Structure formats: structure tokens, C-alpha cells
Amino acid sequence: LTLGLVTADLSLHAPSQIAAAVKRRASLAGYNVVMSMPEDNSVAACEAAVAGLLAQRVDALLINVPLENDAAAHIAARSQPLPVLFLDVDENAPVPSMVFDAQQGARLGIEHLLALGHRRIACLAGPPDSVSARLRHQGWIAALHQAGLTPCVEAHGDWSAASGYHHAHAILAARPDGVVVANDQMALGVLRACAEQQLQVPDAISVIGYDDTADSAWFTPALTTIRQDFRLLGERSVEWLLARLHAVPTAESAITLPVSLIERQTSG
């Protein structure tokens, strides 16, 4: 039996760790995993990837690419009658989903900076066409708003360390005392820019990442971040599909997984 995984760019740390976790859990159950990586971020490319997996006669589908509600509904309809689960959609999307709690993650990061006494807070968001990037960004704004604040500067990167580094220059020019970053790879680029400008982290500026990928504890300084438990997502998502394949009627269809703040050396 075979599970199909449509995945976001595997050169990014989070999708590759999710794919590894899916593969590990599926193997335990005696399932193969076949993967397809869409050519670009378009809905057409995602549909082509799904069609390719369906042609390989997969038994169930996991979709880990960002999809707006109507695109996800369209893909779910085309995948009928196979079980399909979406990992990067809005939690209110009209399809079965298993997503990390973006609002909680955003709030944890902002509240941590506020508790440390920071008030000039910068936001380095992910790409505007990513659902999870948008939800994190909205969560930051809402949490800042509750404290009567707005970001002192904002930018959008593309998830890569290079984009974090390039946007850091405009961000640091606004003299924030804390910056929330939408993923750890971009935070790595921000740390590099801070080092080049001789800004001591965390004395001069706190940096909070998002993901807690396997390397993040090894950044210099070790990164404070919001942990998304990719191993758990891999396990739970495969188990959800297995339940559906065995027609277990109790499987919920909109599951939100909690995230947590991991305090290391980049916040203070």
C-alpha cells in the first residue's frame, strides 16, 4: 500500500523534516510513501502533482503545500474517493486538515518579548502567498494590538536564510529591541546580520524564530524559537489517513496541534 505526499520545497528544513516523519510512520505501518514536489507555488502545479500521484495509484494523500480554501476544496474533490489530509491550510478550510496552531505560536513569541520588557518589536514574515506565513503574521499583529502596539517595522522574506539576511538590514535600521521571525532559517540570516553590525544578541536585540528545526539549537547563539513538533505531525497525519482507510468513523476532520516556546540564548 502507498501513501502519496505532495510537499513544499524539500530544500527547506521544515518540509523535509515533515517528509522524514511521514516516511518513518508510514514504514512502521508497512506503507510506502511516494512524493511529489510541485514545480512552483501555483494551484495548477499542485494539481499536476496530485494527478501524478493518483496516476501512480496511491491509496491516500497528504498535501503539505500552502493552499487557499477554494483551491484546497477543488483538490479534495478531484482526489475523491481517496482519503486526503491537508497540512498547510486555514484551520477553517472546508477540507480535512491537521495544522499547527499559528495564533498560539504568534502569541507566544510576542508575549515572550513583551515579558522581557521589549516594546519596539519588528516582524519578519514569510512569503505573502503562504497560508501559514499569513496566519503567523496576523497573529503577531493581533498580539501586539492587545498590548497597544504595532510593529516598528515589517518585511516579508521567502523562508530562506538569504532572505532573512537581506531583509535584516532594513529591519535593524529601525532599531528594534526584539524581532519575531516566521521561521528559523530566516532567523539564521538575521543573526548573521546582527553579528556583522556588532549588535549583541540578546543584549542589544532579541531574536525569536519559528519551527525549531533540528539545527536551531546549534545556531550562535542557540535560537529561542516556537517549536512545531514535526515528528508528531508526521505520526498523527499518517495515523489519521490509516484510520480513514480502515473506515474508523471517529477520526476528526479539523485537527489543530499545539506549539510551544523553546527559550534558548537569543532572547533576554
Question: Amino acid letter at 59?
Answer: D
Structural element, H or E, at residue 261 = strand 260-262
Residues 85/96, Cβ–Cβ less than 8 Å: yes
Q: For the window 79-98, what string marks contact with ligand IPT as x by the rule CB under 6 A?
A: --------xx----------
Least distance from ligand IPT to the Cβ atom of residue 148, Å? 28
Q: For the window 120-159, what string marks contact with ligand IPT as x by the rule CB under 6 A?
A: ----------x-x--------------------------x
Between 131-146 and 102-115, two packed helices, what is the crossing angle to 10 degrees?
A: 40
Q: Is 14 in the site for ligand IPT (CB under 6 A)?
A: yes
Structural element, H or E, at residue 123 = strand 121-125
Q: Residue 120 or 236: which CB sits closer to ligand IPT?
A: 236
127 preceded by cis ω (within 30°)? no
Map grid coordinates 477520526 to a residue.
251
Q: Is 206 in the site for ligand IPT (CB under 6 A)?
A: no
Q: Residue 7 or 152: which CB sits closer to ligand IPT?
A: 7
Residues 60/245, Cβ–Cβ less than 8 Å: yes
Own/partner pairs for 66-70, CB < 8 Å, 24+ apart? 66/8, 66/41, 66/129, 66/130, 66/131, 66/132, 66/133, 67/43, 67/93, 67/131, 68/131, 69/93, 69/94, 69/95
Q: Residue 66 or 83: which CB sits closer to ligand IPT?
A: 66
Q: Is 12 in the site for ligand IPT (CB under 6 A)?
A: yes
Q: Is 8 in the site for ligand IPT (CB under 6 A)?
A: yes
State the Cα angle at 34 between 45 and 26, rounded to 5°: 130
Number of residues that bind ligand IPT (CB under 6 A): 14
Q: Residue 152 or 161: which CB sits closer to ligand IPT?
A: 161
Report 27-56 residues binding ligand IPT (CB under 6 A): none
Least distance from ligand IPT to the Cβ atom of residue 246, Å? 25
**Contact set with ligand IPT (CB under 6 A):** 8, 12, 14-15, 64, 66, 87-88, 130, 132, 159, 183, 210-211
